[in-house]
Amino acid sequence: MEQLKYILAIESSCDDTGAAVLCNDKVLSNVVAKQEIHELYGGVIPELASRAHQQNIVPVVEVALQKAGIQKTDLSAITFTQGPGLMGSLLVGGSFAKSLSMALDIPLIAVNHMHAHILAHFIDEEGFDKPTFPFLAMTISGGHTQIVKVNSFVDMEILGETTDDAVGEAYDKTAKILGFPYPGGPLIDKHAQNGNPKAYAFTKPKVDGLNFSFSGLKTQILYFIQKEVQKNPDFIKENIDDICASVQNIIIKILMDKIKLAVEQTGITQIAIGGGVSANSGIRKALKETETKYGWKTFIPKFEYTTDNAAMIGIVGYHKFRLGIFSDDEVVSKARLEF
């Protein structure tokens, strides 16, 4: 029987401070302290984020250990987000993890945040299947849009990614144009459910291969709204559901077309999505429909593992621990981390 290993995971790549405790691949606790301050500014302010992490990290780790029902001395390893992310935020989590691993004299494991979004599917969760290797992963978030071929826990290769803005950025900017508070992506999704997705036509950007581009779409939406508002100042208010449904429709088309192309090119029909935007109901529905349409097998993570959280850092940490892949205390946090 496999020996029980307790892993403490720390996630601090952006504006949420997360700590989780895993027993092997099972999550015992997953605590997130959200930072409300950024809502006032309509986006994340890096300096404020790192200060809030400093205030939150000790209580968040304490609560995670309490909820898991273990002591610090029971831990087998500490794992943390090395990057990519906001430098100041990453440094808080990295410094804390290093100090604690030294104090407890247990292994330290650095994790790539993007690998964690993909491997969140391997958390042992009732009612959720795990993909088998190789599979295709589409990571969609505020900062990233990638299609990745996943060969093993430690062997992944990017097949396509955004050449400019990420899909989450397209949602956030559209939300801002429509006057929604930050973060506005979930509000677009909510309104889209009541609207006509074919009310307004937007064109898909022409991008070679499996790469993406969303900056042109953002500009297209901005000009369209400005033009319509000039004709009718109440255009947004009167047509909000249809606008949101049409925007969501074009984004889903862009994502699904690229996934179809990736399946054609690789012959792999297991598709997993991850990242904050994978919480979007329209994208989840479109992906699920491919199971009956094309015979694919799809994997959608549990809602709490889509946005930034420490449990996904912990699952990567567990598999690296199992494989004996550790970091030394010279490891440095990196805002941009090679995939």
Q: pTM value?
A: 0.93
Looking at the structure, do residues 53 and 201 belong to the same domain, yes or no?
Answer: no
The residue type found at 205 is P
Residue 331, in any domain of the structure: no
Does 144 appear as a known binding residue? no
Does 274 appear as a known binding residue? no
Domain that holds residue 294: 135-300
- Each residue's pLDDT tens digit, 258-299: 999 999 999 999 999 999 899 999 999 999 999 999 999 999
Looking at the structure, do residues 190 and 78 belong to the same domain, yes or no?
Answer: no
Query: How many independent structural domains does the chain possess?
Result: 2
Looking at the structure, do residues 24 and 68 belong to the same domain, yes or no?
Answer: yes
Looking at the structure, do residues 96 and 139 belong to the same domain, yes or no?
Answer: no
Mean of the per-residue pLDDT values of the chain: 93
pLDDT at residue number 280: 94
Does 189 appear as a known binding residue? yes
pLDDT over threshold 70, residue 37: no
Measure the CA–CA gap between 278 and 283, rounded to whole angstroms.
Answer: 7
Does 141 appear as a known binding residue? yes
Does 143 appear as a known binding residue? yes
Residue 332, in any domain of the structure: no
State what percent of residues in the chain have pLDDT above 70: 96
Does 139 appear as a known binding residue? yes
The greatest distance separating any two alpha carbons of the chain, rounded to the nearest whole angstrom, comes to: 70
pLDDT at residue number 36: 64
Looking at the structure, do residues 289 and 316 belong to the same domain, yes or no?
Answer: no
Residue 333, in any domain of the structure: no
pLDDT over threshold 90, residue 216: yes
Does 329 appear as a known binding residue? no
Residue 34, in any domain of the structure: yes
Looking at the structure, do residues 115 and 149 belong to the same domain, yes or no?
Answer: no
The residue type found at 1 is M
What CATH number has the domain bearing residue 18? 3.30.420.40
Residue 153, in any domain of the structure: yes
Average pLDDT over residues 136-159: 95
Residue 335, in any domain of the structure: no
Does 113 appear as a known binding residue? yes
Measure the CA–CA gap between 180 and 43, rounded to whole angstroms.
Answer: 12
Looking at the structure, do residues 174 and 270 belong to the same domain, yes or no?
Answer: yes
Looking at the structure, do residues 119 and 264 belong to the same domain, yes or no?
Answer: no
The residue type found at 30 is N
Q: Are 199 and 238 in contact (CB under 8 A)?
A: no
Q: Of 102, 111, 124, 99, whose CA–CA distance to 2 is shortest?
A: 124
Looking at the structure, do residues 62 and 148 belong to the same domain, yes or no?
Answer: no
Name 214's Cβ contacts closer than 8 Å, sequence gap at least 6.
145, 162, 164, 165, 166, 167, 169, 170, 205, 254
Does 317 appear as a known binding residue? no
- Each residue's pLDDT tens digit, 102-145: 999 999 999 999 999 999 999 999 999 999 999 999 999 878 89
How is residue 177 written in tokens?
Answer: 């144009």
Does 85 appear as a known binding residue? no
Looking at the structure, do residues 111 and 165 belong to the same domain, yes or no?
Answer: no
Residue 328, in any domain of the structure: no
pLDDT over threshold 80, residue 20: yes
Backbone angles phi, psi at 27, to 5 degrees: -85, 120
Looking at the structure, do residues 153 and 294 belong to the same domain, yes or no?
Answer: yes
Q: Decide the pairing of beta strands 108-112 and 77-83.
A: parallel
Residue 130, in any domain of the structure: no
Does 13 appear as a known binding residue? no
Residue 182: pLDDT band with limits 50, 70, 90? confident
Looking at the structure, do residues 227 and 251 belong to the same domain, yes or no?
Answer: yes
pLDDT at residue number 314: 98
